[in-house]
Structure 1
Amino acid sequence: VVHISLNPHPDDRLTDTDMENIAREYMEKIGFGGQPYMVYKHEDIDRHHMHIVTIRVKEDGKAISSSNNFYQSKKATRELEKKYNLHTAERGQAISEIPLRKVNASEGDVKKQIANTVKAVVRGYHYQTLGELRAVLSLYNIAVEETRGIARNREYHGLVYSATDDNGNKVGNPFKASKIGPSVGYEAVQKRFAWSKKQITEGGIAASLKEKILPILAASSNTEDFKSRLQAQGMDVVFRYTDTGRIYGATFIDHDSRSVLNGSRMCKELSANALEQHFNNPHDHGQTQQGQTTGGSAFSGADQWQSQSAPSQDYDHSYSDFYGFGLFTTDNPAVDPAEEEFRRRMQRKKKKRRGPKL
């Protein structure tokens, strides 16, 4: 799945027809004209902007090449800025952002694929823990882990990035952050934690996202419905499950504000326990219309959208795989307190089942 954001300058006054035409022409210019796609107009920040969601796989099963994404997008936006008399990037506003996409190991040059996406995410999103960074990277089939050890009598810490398949399983060899660049290394990410905390706090982002997410949750009957409705509003959620299928963690990604937050950071209703109860003990939400969105309007393009392509992938590992990253902290715990308490309860249950040692 490919996510694209088109962001005209606040002073550019565009009608819905203008925005629909711009989206269609942009897709054609970057080589996606024959693909199914959906366009959502958002008005919840200081300018009207669009989110486009599409797929790279064509009807014949072949994937559209992404080797020239940057140059195709840049050329397309310049042409559209000129045609529609929009503010240009040279005057301080680019109309679009280079679309991020999932890593596909079968296409080769995995290091370059990982590097391009990791650099954009690490420098472009707000996250306060390694777990939150891991959640947004998982949308693009990338895993990140901390490494530590002793070398020449000195303790060292580092990060390694790996490609994954759509189920979160690692494929191929991992790459040290040092092989990608200092901007995605251990120290850079730690600094980003502190900077992100300040931006999220001062910007009131958590409260704003809560107000956007809670009505969507109330209208959602199951996790897939919830994810689809969030995606229609430019957001994603990554759930983490125990081996028995219980939700023990949920991280929300808002692509408008570029913010990543564990649900419990926003409110009790979005904590793992509350979401588990909501979806496993559903209330009668009444009948909802398919395709209805909150706070935005939708256009459809090309052929009919294939719904099976929309959901983003979840973490699907044992809960024990996601701990041991306590060094990645500022003033915040490296893991969600509610998740940590759940982990402790599970460990106590395991010890009881094992019984006393002989």
Structure 2
Amino acid sequence: MIGKIVKGKSFKGCISYVLDKDNVRLIDSEGVLTTNTKAIINSFYLQSLMNPKLKKSVGHIPISYSKEDESRLTDQFMIQLAKEYMEAMKIKNTQYIIVRHNNTDNPHCHIVFNRVDNDGKTISDKNDHYRNEKVCKQLKDKYNLTYGESKEQTNIQKLKGAEKTKYEIYHAIKATLKISKDWQQFEQNLKQQGISIAYKYKGQTDEVQGISFRKGEHTFKGSDIDRQFSYSKLNNLFQQNHNQKQHISQKQAQTEDTPVQPITESMSDNLGGIFNIHLNGEDHEEDAFRKRMEHEEKQRRKKSGIKR
């Protein structure tokens, strides 16, 4: 069981995407007219007007399950899981629909809900990504659901369409990062694999806010492919590479510019015995110790009356 948090501005775009496909079923809903897609969209939109200041009133959470659990995932059980998920995520007192999709090997559903609740208040999204992971784990443990495969273990050959392309881009990015020291190398290496990059800028400025990757007819935001592939995290990685390279260059330059000095007696004295440095083959500490032991032996013999 894996949930993915998505927030948006357009109920029309989201609900059309969720409903206007083959092999889909609306299995549960609350507070909306379900006559047709248009009626559902209008229901959500009218309630969102109660809180016009909220820019992203669309809540969308796809929840995917392992294929091993398919036989258990009746519509009723999927509804139960979705409702418990929403309750734990504090998504309540609001409109929602639950739509089941059957277009992939993994059983999954889409929860679309209004972030403007029935009283016009905003449903908080504070720490929602962290809470999502925690709630999914709790439900998997509670109902003994199969832990899904990681991206590394997913069989790409079984995937189709956009989902297959997304995993291809994921593996390409991961491999390319190992051989790319900066953005230029990164772009060039991906381009050779048929993947292009587009940047999202803040207003009319040169400040980059986001990144997306395109292969064929499919485009994905970096964070949708993997959280580690957002622009900020990729940029931090390349910045670390740059800083590390500069540090190494500075150390090499310092080493080359520093002349090698011979060790003198004054330098030896400053070391204060940290290193056992012998000058001209002499060990003054050893000589002092030997003389002290010889003196103590003479005193002992003198007291005992022993002659050598």
TM-score (norm 2): 0.34
Q: Greater relative contact order (Cα 8 A, min sep 6): structure 1 or 2? A: 1
More helix by share: 2
TM-score (norm 1): 0.30
